[in-house]
Amino acid sequence: MKDEYIKNAEALRAVIYCRVSSTKQKLEGSGLESQEHRCRQYALAQGYEVDAVFPDDASGGGDFMKRPGMVALLSFLDAQPSKDYVVIFDDLKRFARDTEFHIKLRREFQKRGARIECLNFKLDDSPEGKFVETIFAAQGELEREQNRRQVIQKMQARVEKGYWVFTPPVGYKYASDRVHGKILVRDEPIASILAEALEGFACGHLQSQAEVKRFLEAKPDFPKDTPEGEIRWQRVQRLLSHITYAGYVEAPKWSIAPLKGHHEPLISLASYEKIQERLSGKAKAPARKDISDDFPLRGFVLCDDCGEPMTSCWSKGRSKHYPYYLCDTRGCESNRKSIARDAVEDGFAEILKSIQPTKQLFALAKAMFIDAWNMRLSEAQRDKDEVARQLRDVEKQIELLLERIVDAENASVIKAYESKIAKLEREKLLLAEKVDRIVPPKGRLEEFIEPALDFLSSPWNLYENGTLALKRTVLRLAFSEPLRYSRDSGYRTAEIALPFKVLAEISTSKGKMVEPRGVEPLTSSLRTTRSTN
């Protein structure tokens, strides 16, 4: 009698299972709390004592063993095989929305001696009851699949209209707009940092993915992948290949080719294409990790005896460490012969300071820049007309190929036409963007020229006060090739970049500006002071 009483008491123990379909519903809604409340009321009415509650925030479709709450529930039952539990849940849809896994889950509970009870459905183990239960489970699966289809169709239609519908890429966030609804907007300062990195890789200032990685890791505001402040290589590759940053959207899994998006781009499509060309081209060696602020010229200064890049090191003296540059090439006359860091870097400072133009020369260069800019504007308008003509030609080719596809019957021919159309569509996007960008809008003069003028006016100041990345950029922009250094005579003649060559030729030229002559009477192109008489 006593044993029967204990068995009945154990049979009155229960656990509750409740589930919502997503983490968002868990955080923003009250579905889990309301389900648990209803299940506890039911347990109280039935005289059950609730031992535990197992919540889930996962979709009901698919394998129930991928639901953490359900796995924990089954493990709880396995840990207490001598006890018979009642598993309570709110609705049959909370149990499983997949007919196959619904049946499998029922068997798992049966193997553990657990009985399941649903608040909104009376479970019956009779043949008729099992049939009805299966029908309801199938209905739940049907609803889930229909909901999934509707969501995909809406997302697909949204992409086809030029909107991004997936998780926002790094540098963007979603915002509500009265016209567009939910749309991507720039997430500052991350967007500006990423735009600088992408443009730097496109133009070659950042020569490798390793340099892009180091550039982003050096920015405190850019999100990192690890607590140590590292960004993973896979993420760098995704950033460089994401067409969303060029202002376009695509969905290859839905066969949606790139379309012009409504969000603001971080870079132009032309820059994006340059990035893809560089990614698909010959891979560059990763940037050396041993280039540091201690030796910014490492790898850029060559040994004059063998022509190989010099390395660097700290050498331990009696009381402190001393910095040196040296050649580490076997067989070289200067192999392992150290040169004091100050000698190498002071000599470089003199070279960089010597190419810095005077204020008068800089003013003349600025005037020349402005004249060249105005000339370029008139040329740009002519170029715009030519690109517009090319765009019309491409559109005609696409129309012609579409007509041929309609008449074609051979599958291989149709596939070839489709491939050609895809290439032309890509070319069409590039030409369309070029038409919009080829003529700079008013106000872009300062945006384009001022950074270049700042660099030309003070390369040494930028180098001396800049970060390591900026110093390396100054080296590549100021000199057309690496510098050669001799242990005996110092630096050889430096090959400076073209802008500094032009400025040097102007400053050393002995010629004078002459009055322009033609068929018209003499006119002056120079400023003169005239008498009012």
Spatial separation of the C-alpha atoms in residues 237 and 224, rounded to whole Å: 15
Give residue 452's pLDDT: 67
pTM: 0.51
Residue with tokens 């490492």: 298
Full set of structural domains in the chain with CATH: 2-153 (3.40.50.1390), 172-280 (3.90.1750.20)
Low-confidence spans in the chain with pLDDT less than 50: 1-11, 27, 29, 283, 285-287, 289, 510-533
Whole-Å CA distances, 146 to 23, 57, 96, 465: 21, 20, 16, 62
Give residue 269's pLDDT: 86
Give residue 168's pLDDT: 92
Give residue 7's pLDDT: 45
**What 3 state SS string does 432-501 have?**
HHHHHHCCCCCCHHHHHHHHHHHHHHCHHHHHHHCCHHHHHHHHHHHECCCEEEECCCEECCCCECHHHH
CB atoms within 10 A of CB 67: 22
Give residue 316's pLDDT: 84
Question: Is 169 in contact with 175 (CB distance < 8 Å)?
Answer: no
Give residue 266's pLDDT: 92
Q: pLDDT tens digits, residue range 387-437?
A: 888 888 888 888 888 888 888 878 888 888 888 888 888 788 777 877 777
Give residue 526's pLDDT: 41
Question: Is 254 in contact with 159 (CB distance < 8 Å)?
Answer: yes
